[in-house]
Every structure is written in C-alpha cells, then in structure tokens.
Amino acid sequence: MNSSILLTHTSPHPLFSPFLNPRLPLRFKPPLSLSTKPSSLSLYKKYLNYKLKLKLISTVRCSASSPSPQFAQSPPPPPPLTANVFGDKRELTGLQSVVDSMSSSVRLFASVIVFAGAVVAGYGLGLRFGGSRNASIAGAVAVGAAGAGVVYALNSAVPEVAAVNLHNYAAECRDPLALRKEDVQAIADKYGVSKQDEAFTAELSDIYCGYVSSVIPPGSEELRGDEAETIIKFKNALGIDDPDAASMHMEIGRRIFRQRLETGDRDGDLEQRRAFQKLIYVSTLVFGEASSFLLPWKRVFKVTDAQVEVAVRDNAQRLYAFSLRSVGRDVDVDTLISLREKQKLYKLSDELAEELFRNHTRKLVEENISAALSTLKSRTRAVQTRQPIEELDKILEFNSLLISLKKHPDVSSFARGLGTVSLLGGEYDGDRKMDDLKLLYRTYITDSLSSGRMEEDKMAALNQLRNIFGLGKREAESITLDVTSKVYRKRLAQSVTAGHLEAAESKAAFLQNLCEELYFDAQKAVEIHEEIYRQKLKQSVSNGELSDEDVKSLERTQIMLCIPKQTVESAHADICGSLFEKVVKDAIASGVDGYDADVKQAVRKAAYGLRLTRDVAMSIASKAVRKIFISYIQRSRATGSRIEAAKELKKMIAFNNLVVTSLVADIKGESTDSDTTLEDPVTEVVESEEEEEWESIQSLRKVRPNKEKLGKQSQTDITLEHDLPERDRTDLYKTYLLYCLTGEVVRIPFGAQITTKKDDSEYVFLNQLGGILGLTDKEIVEVHRSLAEQAFRQEAEVILADGQLTKNKIEQLNELQTKVGLPSEYSQKIIKSITTTKMSAALETAVSRGRLSIKEIRELKEAGVELDTMISLSLRENLFKKTVDDIFSSGTGEFDEEEVFNKIPQDLSINSVKARSVVHELARSRLSNSLIQAVSLLRQRNHSGVVSSLNDMLACDKAVPSKPLSWEVPEELADLFLVYLKSDAVSEKLSRLQYLLDISDSTAEALRGMRDRALPDGVAGEEEFVF
C-alpha cells in the first residue's frame, strides 16, 4: 500500500479545516507528501508534469453550509474523455526498445547467452593474454561481471517498459472505460512483472489518479451522479487495490489544497472548497463504508465528521434535485422507484429526500398557478376564459395522482414525499399572495356553479384545492357563501319569474331542493329570503305608506319564500318603525304650540298607513318621548335650587299634557276631547288600609281631587318606570311635593323675600307627575307619609326636648298630628322613638355616673322600659360590677347567691355565666384587701371599722370559699378575732372567721374568756390586749 503522511502542523481552532471553514484564516504551512517507498518522489514529479496538461479545478461560487441548495441550471453533459487525460504516448529509449522487442523467453535466453558469452570471452581473453589458468579465470570473472551488468540492465528496464506500454495502452483508448482488466494483466504477463512492482504500480496509480481528476467535474460544474459508478468501473478495470486507490484520492485532495494556496484570493478559496466537497462526496460513494478508515480526512486535513456529513449531504441534495427535474405531472411507478434507488445511491436521508420531492411538486403546482393568474389578470382573458380552470384542473389531477400513489401497496419502494401538495415555504406562501389564491378559488367555484348546480365531484375538488392553497376554513366558507349566494339569488329569481316556485305544491320543499342542488346552507337561504322581503318592503313604503296592493304583494312574497310571521313583524318594526319614528320625532319637535291639526293628521296617517300594530307604534313613540322626559329631568337636576328644579318638572308635565297626551290619542285613534278616554293614575281600587291613608294625610287628599276638578286627563301609557330607579323617581316626586307645600319664593326690593303659597291646582300637576314617573299608589302614599313623618318629628323633638311626656305636651302633639295629617299609629311611633332616645341618654348618663342602683333598674323594668335597647351592654356589665362591689363592701357580711348569681344578671340582661366569673374575680381580690383593711383599722383603734371589714371578708368567703389566710404578725389576727367577739356576732360567722384567721381552738377559748372586759381608750387600751 502506498500511504501518504502529512507533516504535523498546528491550528488555532480544534475543528479548523482550510476547506470547510471558510472564515478561518490559514495558519499552517502546506503539507508535503512523503512516501515510504523509493518511487514516491518519482510519482510526485509525474503529478507535477501533468498539472499543466490537466485543468482539474475551475471557478465556482458555492457555500458549503447551505442546507437546501437551489439550482438555477442543470449540470452540463459529461465532456468526452480523450487520450489527453493520461497524457501523450511515451517513446522508448534504445535499451527499452530492445527490451520491448523481446519476449520473456527470448529475453531470458539472451540473458543466458550474453552472460555465458561474456564468461567464455573473458576466459579466452585471459588465456590469450595471461597465458595461465589463473589469468583465464580472472578474465572470465571480469568479463562475466560485465555481462551480468548488461543482463541486469536489460532486466531492470523491464518494469519501466511495462509501465510505458501500460501508459501507451491507456493513452490509445479513446474511452477510458474501454480498458479491460485482462489487457492490463496481459501487459504485466508479457513483461513478467506483477502489480507489486513499484514502477508498474506507480503507473497504475498515475492512470487512476488522472482518470479520477478528469471524472470529477471542475468547481464551476455540478456532479452528474455517475462519477462514482464510472470510477469504480475504471478502478476494477485497472485492478488497483482500494488502499492504493484511496491514497490517490487523498493525493488529489492535497493537489486541491496546493492550488488553493496558489490562488490566494477569496473567490479561488471558495472554488477549492467546493471542489474539495465534491471530492469527499465522490470518494465516500466509491469506497462506501470503508471510506471511514481508508480516507483519513480528519487526520490529514483537520476535517470533522460533521463537515464530512455536510459535504455529503449538500452534494447528495444537488444530485437528487437534478434527478427530480425529470419528474413531471405524469409521474409513474417506475419513476418513483428509480428515484428511490438514486436516493439510496446518493446516500440522501429520507427527510431531505421528502423535502426535495415536496419542493419539486410545489414548484410544478406554482407553475400552474402562475399561468392561471397570468391569464386571469390579462386584459384579453375573455378570449381564454377556460385556461385558468384548466390549469387548476391540472393541479387537482396531479394532487390526486400523488395521493393515489401514496396509497399504493408498494409505496415503501417509492420516493419519499408523496401526498397532498402544499404551498408552504414557496412563492405563494404569504399574505401578499393570499389574495391571488382566493381569486383562483373564487374562479373555480364560479365555474363549478356555472351550470346552476354543484356536482358532488366538484365539492371534493374544492376541498382539495382549499387544502393545497392553505386557505382557512372560514376564508373558504366565506368565498363559497359569497359565490353561492349570488347563484342562489339568480336561481330564485328565475324560479319566481318563470312561476315554478309559485306553482310548486310545497314551497318549502322546492326551496330545500334548490339549496341541496347548490350545497347551500338553508339558514343562509332564510337570511337571503328575509333580505329580499326587506328590500321589497322598503320599495313599498318609499311613499310613506303601504297600499292594499303592496300588502298583497308582500304577503305573496312571504308565502313563496316561507318567511315566518315573527320575521315579517320584525322587518315591519324596523323599516316602517324607522319611518314612523321620524314622524313622531317631528311631532315632538313641533313643541307645545306647534302640535296642530296637520301634525295630528301626519301622526294618524303614519300610524295606520304603515300598518303598524298598536304595540309597535306605542313602543316607538314611547322611546322618543322618554328621551324628552329624561332631558327635562336632567335639566331639573342641574338647577341650583329646589324651586327651579320644580319649575323644570312643571314644564315636563305641561309637555306631557299638551303634546304627549295628544300624540298617544292619535296613535290609538281616540279623541282627545273626552275626559274619560284616558285612565287616571290614582283611580285604581286600593286596599282599605291604603284608602284610609289617602283620606288621613292632607297632602294626599289634595292630590286625589274630584274628577270635576281634573278636567282633561293626561296619558299614563308612557312612563319612566323602567328608565329611572325607584329612589330617583320618589326624590323627583318629593321635590315637587315640597314645592306644593312651601310655595314659591319671590324677591322684593331691599333684599327681602316673600313666600307665596300655591293653591290646590299644583297638586293636580303633582298627580300627573306621579303618572309620568310611573309611581304606584303605594309608592305615592309612602312619599307623602315620609314627608309628614319628617315634619311631625321636627316639631315633636322640640316639644319633647327634655324627654318628659306631660299632659300639656300630649295635647300639643295631638294638635300637631291633626295639623300634619299623620295617622295616629305613625305619630305614636315617632313619640315613642323620641322619648326612648331621650330616656336612653339619661339612663346611660346615670349609670356612668353611678346614680342608678339595681333597685331603680327593677322599677324601670316594671314600668315597661326596655333596658336592653336603652342601656348598652358594657354599661350594664359595669353596673353589675358596681352592685357586686357594693355587696362586698356593705359591712354586713351577707351574700345571697340566688340574688347575685341569677336575679341581678337577669334584671340587667347579661350572661349569667360571665356574671358568675366576674363575682368570683371580685371576691378573690376583695378577700385579701378586706384583711389588710381590717388590720389597718385595728392599728387605728377603729373597732367598728374592723368589724365591717371582717364582715366584708366573710361575704367574699361566701361567694368564693377560701383557705386560711396568713399574716406576718399572728398576734394581730388574735386581736382581730377578739374585736369581732365583742361585736356580739353570730356563732357561724365566728367559727368561719376563726378558720379564715387560722386561730386554734385553745386560743379562741382564751379570747372568749376575755370578751367581757372593757376596752379602754388610749394607751391603756393597747396594754389590755393579751398578745
């Protein structure tokens, strides 16, 4: 094996390659080729001689990292290989000519003769001139050696002659593939050489290297795909081994590298990289899996495995893309199988092959789309109206073919990428081109419906076309609906004109059949029917009214198109209602003075001429009138005073009486002269309780006068009941009620003001205002009652300022009740509320200041005073603590558990459990304090105080039984017991006190013996104590 070794060099980057990393600068010296055999230098010299004859690498600009290369032109056809690939014939030298003329046996016989003749001649010459035997032998040796040299020279020229003949044999072949392995072997056999001979092997390598260099296209050309196959055939014909052939591939790589150094510019650098990539790819195909160890790209050229894969991938893509150019719209099974074989041959992955195939099919479809659009947008498209449809049919046929091939049972042996064509990633993938695709889709739908019906196969074709164009479902449905709607209208018009629809027994079945023929949504058809009816209705009311003929025509249309009654009424309400609304607004805009006979006539004509129902007409009028009412109310709220607000409300009442009432009567067709036409808002039958309130409150009696005083009544059909909240409506009513009660303020000179009272006529307007606001009788009564309560409360609080209810004050309150007209039950509630509030404040003050005892609390409860509402819980708890504390400091020594734990908490309405805990806490703290207080009083000689303190201690012990108490001076405890003995206390208390003071029985007996002795005053008294 002729191996090549690259000299060691350094690189600044671990993945640096001068061929596949174009942006990295070259920082190492060019490698030199060394050989382990003596003939390597001669082989290198031969390559230098061939460099001027062979143009191996040409200019081409290409990027090695392009993942999806595009090709503007196909690779050129392979150039004919001439004898110049291997160079011209070589001439033999004199000796080589002699050797060439001899056969192996002749050359061997001649060698024997020459050597034997030389020996014989040398022996004879030695014998002749030396005269002795030794001289003869020496002459034979000398001349024989010369003859041996001649024989050696003759035989050593044999491999060179064989190499020259091999070269001339290759040079004579016009087609290098015509070389036969038998001929090469015959040359070797002829001269008795083997392929292990260096000269012969070197010539074989030269021939192979020259052929490979000529087969691989220069940098400006693309691979044709047959390079690897022809190289393999030629290699087999020469009989060269794979290791020797692989070394030649590496040597070609070194040549490309050296030429890159000689070029020295950027363009040349790119050319050499492209040439190097093609060499890697072809070499990989030639040697197959053995290329990984036969071709040390990484070791020699610092090329990574990833870079080798990129070179293989890019060139495989180019070759496969070129193969795809022969695939047309009539692709068949054989073509797909051939493509699959080429894919495997080119070592292209299934993913990339699928992508390239889909790109190719997309380009074919794009050609059809461009042709269709060109014709469709052309000014002379009227001449070629069918061409866009034909182009689209070609697309659909091609797409169907690809889908059917994908379902073929042998699809696994087909080229990858079969299936529905997609425009994604192509020329028409974008929003700018979407309008063109929609135009084509619309054109195809229009052509499909040109016969007046939609065939089933056309529906399937439209679905395919939508998927190919990438249209969304809504977009496609919108276009389909637009086109189909026009065709449906046309078919419907033809059916009506020809009388087919009217003559049909079932109009619904006829229309349904029409929708089914067009694959048209029945709901959309209903919408079209409604639109047609509306258009006809607009035409009929163009003069402002509907005649009998128009009504009959509309009814005929309604029946033929099966339009529901609700739809008809809605259409009349919208179209006729808009006309009626205009008339109503004009009537309202005429104002109080402009609503004359002409306006009344226009309203009546519009109400009946447009054939509106009374409810619809009143609804339209109500909407317009309520807007005017709201404007009056807004101006009323915007005023700065109650008087001005009431005046604005009065204007609204006048507008209702003079304009709205007449408008409602004209719409209803009633006469406005009759007083009993319209209903009175307060004439409804109310309950007996409310009736009494109407009669009791004075302002209510004025609001409800006799019908003789009412005169012409106002309308109550249009109200603001649903436009304003109840609170806002009652506030507006209350504003005008106060205006009726207080009158109007008139300013006079010198800044004075006079309040003028209003007569009862204002209450009539108040009654009408209640009708406009939509207030019920109950709500009106509530407003009057609340106002009367407010007035009564203000005066009553002045009368009951001190909280005392006397006879005179009761008389004053009765007079006030009669004056205000408030029912007795409401006045009594107010009086009770005032007195309760005043009493509650007084009670809380008394409790907080400690002037209220539990006895007084019980008296108040017996009098019916609700302490729970008048005295807060915290004050009642404080009162309980104070009461218990008084018991523990009373000095009697008594404690009633039932009274303290149950009765007092019940009287104060506090929690008994919480009260018990309060008592226990107070008793514990008071017990120790009482002992301290008793000792203090003992030291002060206050014997009565001592007895009281000891009784308090006994009372605390009854509440919470205690253990014996301790004291620092036990003698003082004995003195306390002696003082208590002399107070004539009962035996139970004495025994309990003895226990609490921890006095023994003997000490107690001694103290009892001293009980009768008097206690002197002063110092003598102190000496009288035993301890």
Concatenated DSSP letters for 426-488? STT-SHHHHHHHHHHHHHHHHHHTTTSS--HHHHHHHHHHHHHHT--HHHHHHHHHHHHHHHH
Structure tokens at 234: 């030629």
Q: What is the mean pLDDT of residues 510-514?
A: 91
Phi, psi values for residue 698, rounded to 5°? -65, -40
SS3 call for 36: coil
Higher-pLDDT residue of 124, 768: 768
User: Is residue 815 predicted with pLDDT exceeding 70?
Assistant: yes
Tokens of 904: 């007092």
Q: What pLDDT was estimated at residue 526?
A: 92
Q: Over range 504-508, report the average pLDDT.
A: 89
Mean pLDDT, residues 262-289 taken together:
79
Mean pLDDT of 809-832: 74
Q: Return the pLDDT at 361.
A: 92
For residues 485-506, average pLDDT: 89
> Cβ neighbours of residue 684 under 8 Å, at least 6 residues apart?
777
Residue bearing the bigger pLDDT, 385 or 1022: 385
Of 20-24, 816-820, 867-871, the one with minimum mean pLDDT is: 20-24
pLDDT digits (tens, 9 = 90+) for 449-458: 888 888 888 8
Looking at residue 442, its pLDDT comes to 92
Backbone CA torsion sign across 223, 228, 229, 230: positive
Report how far residue 81's alpha carbon sits from residue 930's, in angstroms, rounded to the nearest whole number.
138
Least trusted range by pLDDT, from 606-615, 819-828, 913-922? 819-828
> 103 Cβ partners below 8 Å, 6+ apart?
190
Identify the top-confidence range among 37-51, 261-275, 994-1008.
994-1008
Q: What pLDDT, on the 0 to 100 scale, is given for residue 916?
A: 84
Highest mean predicted confidence (pLDDT) among 145-154, 194-203, 409-418 = 409-418
pLDDT higher at 931 or 116? 931
pLDDT of 536 higher than 80? yes
The mean per-residue pLDDT over the stretch 701-725 comes to 71
Residue 945 has pLDDT above 80, yes or no: yes
According to the per-residue pLDDT averaged within each range, which of 174-178, 183-187, 298-302 is highest?
A: 298-302
Could you tell me if 212 and 249 are in contact, meaning their C-beta atoms sit under 8 angstroms apart?
Answer: yes
For residue 98 the two structure tokens come to 């002699």
* DSSP character at residue 542: T
Q: Please tell me the distance from the alpha carbon of residue 340 to that of residue 338, in angstroms, as a whole number.
A: 5
Which residues does residue 754 pair with via DSSP β-bridges, in sequence order?
746
pLDDT score for 82? 43
pLDDT at 224: 81
Spatial neighbors of 76 by CB under 8 A, at least 6 apart, are 221
Q: Is the sign of the CA dihedral 765, 768, 769, 775 positive or negative?
A: positive
CB 976 within 8 A of CB 950: yes
Length of the chain: 1027
Distance of CA 100 to the CA centre of its chain: 90
Looking at the DSSP bridge assignments, the partners of residue 35 are: 4
Q: How far apart are the C-alpha atoms of 653 and 643, rounded to whole Å?
A: 15
Query: What is the mean predicted confidence (pLDDT) over 744-752?
Result: 55
**Would the pLDDT of 79 be above 80?**
no
Residue 120 corresponds to which tokens in the numbers above?
A: 């014989």
**Residue 487: what pLDDT?**
92
Residue 677 has pLDDT above 60, yes or no: no
26-53: average pLDDT: 35
- How confident is the model at residue 881, as a pLDDT? 81
> pLDDT at residue 141 above 70?
no
pLDDT at 310 over 70: yes
Whether residue 783 contacts residue 734, with contact meaning beta carbons closer than 8 Å, is answered with yes
Residue 855 has pLDDT above 80, yes or no: no
Q: In which band, very low, low, confident or very high, does the pLDDT at 198 lie, cut at 50, 70 and 90? A: confident
Q: Of 279-288, 627-636, 692-701, 757-766, which gets the smallest average pLDDT?
A: 692-701
Q: What is the pLDDT of residue 666?
A: 85
Q: What are phi and psi of 753, to 5 degrees?
A: -130, 140
Residue 413 predicted with pLDDT over 50: yes
At residue 878's C-alpha, the angle toward residues 873 and 884, to 5°, is: 125
1004 or 114, higher pLDDT: 1004
d(CA 289, CA 347): 11
**If pLDDT is split at 50, 70 and 90, which confidence band does 804 have?**
low
User: Which pLDDT score is estimated for 363?
Assistant: 92
Report the range of poorest mean pLDDT among 222-236, 655-669, 684-698.
Answer: 684-698
Question: 810-823 as b/e, with b when 16 or more CB fall inside 10 Å?
Answer: eebbeebbeebbbb
**Up-side HSE of residue 758: CA atoms within 13 Å toward CB?**
21
- Angle between helix axes 943-959 and 873-888 (nearest 10 degrees) is 130
DSSP characters over 377-405: HSTTTTTTTTHHHHHHHHHHHHHHHHHHH
Q: What is the pLDDT of residue 680?
A: 43
Cα distance between residue 774 and residue 281, in whole Å: 95
Residue 973 has pLDDT above 50, yes or no: yes
Q: Do 271 and 63 touch, CB atoms closer than 8 A?
A: no
**Percent of the chain predicted with pLDDT > 70:** 69
Mean pLDDT of the chain: 75
Q: CA distances (Å), 267 to each of 59, 262, 274, 481, in order?
A: 8, 12, 11, 58
Q: Amino acid identity, residue 75?
A: P
pLDDT at residue 152 above 70? no
Pairing type for strands 744-747 and 34-35 reads: unpaired
Q: Helix, strand, or coil here: 91?
A: coil
Q: Which residues contact 69 (CB under 8 A, 6 or more apart)?
A: 62, 314, 317, 318, 321
**What are the pLDDT digits (tens) for 543-570?**
878 888 888 888 888 888 899 988 888 8
- Reply yes or no on whether the pLDDT at 695 is more than 50: yes
Q: How far is CA 719 from the centre of its chain?
A: 47
Over range 473-491, report the average pLDDT.
91
Quick one: pLDDT at residue 991? 81
CA distance 482 to 80: 63
User: CA geometry: angle at 781 spanning 775 and 787, to 5°?
Assistant: 110
Checking if the pLDDT of 274 tops 60, the result is: yes
How far apart (Å, rounded) are the C-alpha atoms in residues 462 and 998? 116
Provide the pLDDT for residue 955.
Answer: 81
Instruction: Please report the pLDDT score of residue 661 as a whole number.
Output: 87
Model-wide pTM > 0.75: no
What are the DSSP calls for 752-793, one per residue? -EEEEPP-THHHHHHHHHHHHHT--HHHHHHHHHHHHHHHHH
Q: Could you tell me the two tokens for 302?
A: 């610092």
Looking at the predicted structure, is the pLDDT value of residue 423 above 80? yes
Residues whose CB falls within 8 Å of the CB of residue 418, separated by 6 or more in sequence, listed in order: 336, 357, 402, 403, 405, 406, 411
Phi/psi at 870 (5° precision): -90, -35
At residue 106, the pLDDT reads 56
Give residue 842's pLDDT. Answer: 65
Integer CA distances (angstroms), 572 to 618, 624, 658, in order = 14, 18, 29
Asked if 900 and 909 count as a contact pair (C-beta separation under 8 A), the reply is no
Q: What is the CA 544 to chain-centroid distance, rounded?
A: 52
The residues with which 755 forms a beta bridge, in sequence order, are 745
Looking at residues 747-772, what average pLDDT do you find? 68
Q: What pLDDT is recorded for position 384?
A: 54
For 254-270, letters b (16+ CB in 10 Å) and e give bbbbbbbeebeeeebbb
Rounded Cα gap, residues 713 and 661, in angstroms: 8
Phi and psi angles of residue 820, each rounded to the nearest 5 degrees, phi first: -75, -30
Query: Closest by alpha carbon to 529, among 497, 499, 559, 504?
Result: 559
Kindly give the pairing relationship between strand 4-5 and strand 34-35. antiparallel
Local confidence band at 749 (pLDDT 50, 70, 90 cut-offs): low
pLDDT range class, residue 51, cuts 50, 70, 90 = very low
Residue with tokens 């070029």: 263
Q: Which H helix or E strand runs over 5?
A: strand 4-5
Residues of the chain with pLDDT > 90, as a percent, come to 8
DSSP 352-378: HHHHHHHHHHHHHHHHHHHHHHHHHHS
For residue 873, which phi and psi values (nearest 5 degrees)? -65, -40
Higher pLDDT, 261 or 368: 368
Helix (H, G, I), strand (E, B) or coil at 73: coil
Check if the beta carbon of residue 280 is closer than 8 Å to that of residue 302.
Answer: no
Q: What is the pLDDT of residue 685?
A: 38
The band of 463, judged by pLDDT with boundaries at 50, 70 and 90, is very high
